Amino acid sequence: MGITRIKHVTGAITRLFLGISLWSVSGLALAAYELNFQKPVTPIAEEILDLHNLIIIIVLIIFVIVFSFMFYSIVVHRKSRGYKPAKFHDNNTLEIVWTIIPFLILVGMAIPSTATLIKMEDTSESELTVKITGYQWKWRYDYPDHDVSFFSTLSTPRDQIENKTAKGENYLLEVDNPVVLPVGKKVRFLITANDVIHAWWVPQFGVKKDAIPGFINEMWTRIDEPGTYRGQCAELCGKDHGYMPIVVEAVSQQEFDKWVSLQRNKAVAAQASAAQKWSKAKLMARGKQVYGQCAACHGANGEGVGPFPKLTGGKITTGPVADHLKIVIQGKPGTAMQAFGPQLSDVDIAAVVTYERNALGNNTGDVVQPSQVKALR
Amino acid sequence: MATATAHHGAHPTGISRWLFTTNHKDIGTLYLWLALILFFVGGAMALVIRAELFEPGMQIVDPHFFNQMTTMHALIMVFGVVMPAFVGFANWQIPMMIGAPDMALPRMNNWSFWILPFAFVLLSSTLFMQDQGGAPSAGWTLYPPLTIQGGIGTDFAILSIHMLGISSVLGAINVIATILNMRAPGMTLMKMPLFVWTWLITAFLLLAVMPVFAGAVTMLLTDRHFGTSFFDAAGGGDPLLFQHIFWFFGHPEVYILILPAFGIVSQIIPTFARKPLFGYNSMVYATASIAFLSFVVWAHHMFTVGLPLAGELFFMYATMLIAVPTGVKVFNWITTMWRGSMTFETPMLFAVAFVFLFTIGGLSGLMLAIVPADFQYHDTYFVVAHFHYVLVSGAIFAILGGAYYWLPKWTGHMYNETLGKWHFWLTVIGFNIAFFPQHFLGLAGMPRRIPDYALQFTEFNQWSTVGAFLLGFAQLLFLYLVVQTIRSGKKASTQVWDGAKGLEWTLPSPPPYHTFATAPKVK
């Protein structure tokens, strides 16, 4: 570990200094300097922005007044200017004044804050409910009224993260399956987690809430403008905390209905395909895709990452098929190896297990069918 | 008297002097050196973090190691730098300021220091256990269930936290016993220097909350290994219980990290303004009110966990209230400067920067108290900026200022003023380049504790990294300066600073090994 890591670090430091010099010549002109919140698209986010702006202005005024005294004093009351020190050291009136005035300012701030907070916490009379579940490291969305449910995972290719290809516009803020919500409707979210605490946050909605395993939190939003809105997990949830973005597509009610029926059709098609017998080639192709979720811990080539075990020549991946399926379906309690049974379809599990046993340097020749997965569930 | 001096004069030399010492000055020195060493260790970790965040994409470390760095950086800076440095100041200064010959419990004093190096060896050794999961990586807040997933490093961290807790509690007992029992005749409580007052209050905070923290991590340990489910909903527990207990410790803890800094600054400003501290009494009351309020605001760290509305309102109002006594302190410092006859030696520069920059952190803290807005700020770089403004330009600046202020007294040598000013300006510029842009990053939506980020956050992160390296390397100058002052430098007078008041300035520089064997009279 020692020497390669040192080489790694020195290489990185060289790149860092190279980067600094490049950056300083390439100029600040191209830079994106966002100074405030992203553009709000819900009434609550709008109110929060107004509140934030109000408070920042009050705070800045106080700051400027208070410190103009200090800087005046620093300039004028100097020994080098021959200024003689005054003797005073107490004044109760002054102490009372500067206790009461800030208190009154605080009361002034608390009133609008309380009003906004009460609105934020009112989840009643919602028109649509979406259940959000945090997983290490992806989100699951359920629409209980529409019988739709799916996982949403990062779709930025690993090559971009590893600096092998140029980064796309929405680097780290793009997913395979975005959440689709109708505009102008009060949407209530029920939020929980499967493993550790996560937090669901879309800045433009002004919505952030922790997803806590074993508990259900509530929050709501009403999106005014159609569009694509992006956010991230906001609570440290382990290794890939930085890699579980949120993408929301806000669409008209008609488009939303269309999307719902499309999702249902997809589910039916998936069930049908699970009943078929799959060829090895098809399983391998699908498995390679699914393996993207495993690569975060087990490495793009099955080499393992840090404490997470390698799959190349691994005890599980080259041992009995049933054991392999079991650990994928049930996970390993107390570790980050979660139960993928409830998250992946029979086809996906069959495909990824086939892939792991015949790629990543393994060559067991086993072909696992969706029906085998179903039997073990 | 004569025999006592002869007996005490024969103290061991070399390594055994430091291992067996019960002398408050030696122990103070040990604490301060430990803090300085760990300052560089924790700082190096911060630079790993900032180097990785210089550009989007993963360049230097993997995300798991990145999380270890953020966790260890915080644990080391909080428990290994700021807290030991303050105890170092307390050891050196409290006996000299109240006219006591030593701390009340000198042997315990030795023990409370010597626990620390072992605790930090234990904690740091986890970095070399990468195959077993490495160092703790769930953040210094150690939230379960994530902490439950951690490797053996988490258990090492829990054990070292227990050791740190024992050390802090022993130190706190010692400070309280010393201040309450060993003041020179005439040194009434309301005549004590403000540094002593702030430490007395801090010591009570430590006594109250360190055992709570020990309890919380013990519950983590039993959840991890002994089949309990305090924090596991599947077994009838509650992950949020940990957060409540942790922040019941954690919020008073942040005042533990800042009250002694208030004390140091309250010593420095009157000296260089050549004018007594304005509003001494209200400063004492403000410190006590801040300490009291710190026990009823903990859930402001948890506004997004799904508290009931009434809870959110209570914790919002209580938190906003802290701005009042904190404001009183700032106003008093500025009024102390007002119509003084000021000079700006390095300690004063750090103290003035403290007042100015700490207030920025205080005001962003007030913004964070506003619950609706906190839903946007929470767990973003805005919070990271906020707590670095209160902890670096707050606690660390006060420690550096205090070191310059008392170093001539401790060593008997003046430090190099030109170098001191260079150190100050590089530090203050580096600090602001590193942390001011983080406010904007947070507002624009960058979550904290991520190893990689979306492209729109690139520019400010680059500023931040450049500033962090400047800030980090400037501290080498401080190390050089301290060593230079110890070894050489102009002889310091007894008074050192012409405006300095207090018992420590009646002692020669450096003070003899034992001071105030006969208590001084205080008018």
The DSSP line for B4-40 is: HHHHHH----HHHHHHH---HHHHHHHHHHHHHHHHH
The last residue of one of the domains, among A226, A241, A269, is A269
A162 and A259 housed in the same domain: yes
Domain that holds residue A146: 128-269
Pair A104, A134 in one domain: no
Q: Are B297 and B434 in contact (CB under 8 A)?
A: no
Rounded CA-CA distance B517/B520 in Å is: 9
Distance from C-alpha of A106 to C-alpha of B263, rounded to nearest angstrom: 26
By CA distance, what is B132's nearest residue in A? A307
Please tell me whether residues A141 and A256 are part of one structural domain.
Answer: yes
Name beta bridge partners: A199: A210
Domain membership flag for residue A315: yes
Decide if A208 and B373 are in contact by the 8 Å CB cutoff: no
A247 and A282 in a single domain? The answer is no
pLDDT at residue A10 in the model: 59
- Phi and psi dihedrals of B497, rounded to 5? -110, 130
Q: pLDDT higher for B443 or A32?
A: B443
Whether residue A201 lies inside any domain: the answer is yes
Residue in B342, B352, B373 nearest the CB of A78? B342
CATH number of the domain where residue A89 is located:
1.10.287.90
Q: Does residue A15 belong to any structural domain of this protein?
A: no
In a domain, A22, yes or no: no
Same-domain check for residues A177 and A215:
yes
User: What is the pLDDT confidence band of residue A313, given thresholds at 50, 70 and 90?
Assistant: confident
Secondary structure letter of residue A206 according to DSSP: T
B220 burial level (CB within 10 Å; 0-12, 13-18, 19+): buried
Token couple for A143: 């629409």
Q: Give the closest residue to B285 by CA, choosing from B207, B198, B218, B344.
A: B198
Active-site residue flag, B317: no
Is A87 in the same domain as A194? no
pLDDT tens profile B356-378: 999 999 999 999 999 999 999 99
* Residues A106 and A194 grouped into a single domain: no
Looking at the domain assignment, is residue A247 inside a domain? Answer: yes
Residue A286 inside a domain? The answer is: yes
In a domain, A148, yes or no: yes
Which one-letter DSSP state was computed for residue A81? G
Q: Are residues A328 and A210 in the same domain?
A: no
CA dist B455 and B433 (Å) reads 20
Name the token pair of B336. 């102390």
Domain total in chain A: 3
**Cβ separation of B138 and A236 shorter than 8 Å?**
yes
Question: Cβ contacts of residue A100 below 8 Å, gap of 6+?
Answer: none
Both A162 and A213 in a single domain? yes
Identity of the residue in B64, B454, B460 whose CB atom sits nearest the CB atom of A33: B460
Domain boundary among A269, A301, A332: A269
Q: Is B167 a catalytic residue?
A: yes
Work out the angle between the directed axes of helices B194-225 and B239-256 (0-180°, nearest 10).
160
* CATH at A148: 2.60.40.420
Cα separation, A28 vs B148, in Å, equals 44
- The ipTM, to two decimals, is 0.92
Q: What is the pLDDT of residue B6?
A: 46
Q: How far is B140 from chain A (nearest CA, A)?
A: 11
- Whether residue B326 lies in the annotated active site: yes
pLDDT at B424 over 80: yes
In the three-class reduction of DSSP (H, G, I as helix; E, B as strand; rest coil), residue A149 is classed as strand
* CB contacts < 8 A (A, B): 321
Q: Is B386 a catalytic residue?
A: no
CATH of the domain at A292: 1.10.760.10
For residues A64 and A167, state if they share a domain: no
Q: Alpha-carbon torsion B5, B6, B12, B13, what sign?
A: positive
Give A27's pLDDT tier (boundaries 50, 70, 90): very low
**A35 is a domain residue:** no
Q: Do A89 and B279 touch (CB under 8 A)?
A: yes
Residues A141 and A251 placed together within one structural domain of the fold: yes
- Mean per-residue pLDDT of chain B: 95
Domains and CATH numbers, chain B: 26-506 (1.20.210.10)
Task: State which residue of chain B sits closest to A195, comparing Cα positions.
Answer: B145
pLDDT in tens, B225-263: 999 999 999 999 999 999 999 999 999 999 999 999 999
DSSP per residue, B124-186: HHGGG-GGGT-S--STTTT-TTHHHH--HHHHHHHHHHHHHHHHHHHHHHHHHHHHHH-PPTT
- Determine the average pLDDT of the residues in A75-89: 92
Higher pLDDT, residue A297 or B169: B169
**Residue B80: how many CA atoms within 13 Å on its side-chain side?**
27
Q: Which residue do the tokens 């495909």 mark? A: A351
Do A263 and A300 fall within a single domain?
Answer: no
pLDDT at position B373 is 96
Of A60, A87, A120, the domain-final residue = A120
Question: Over pLDDT 90: what percentage of chain B?
Answer: 95
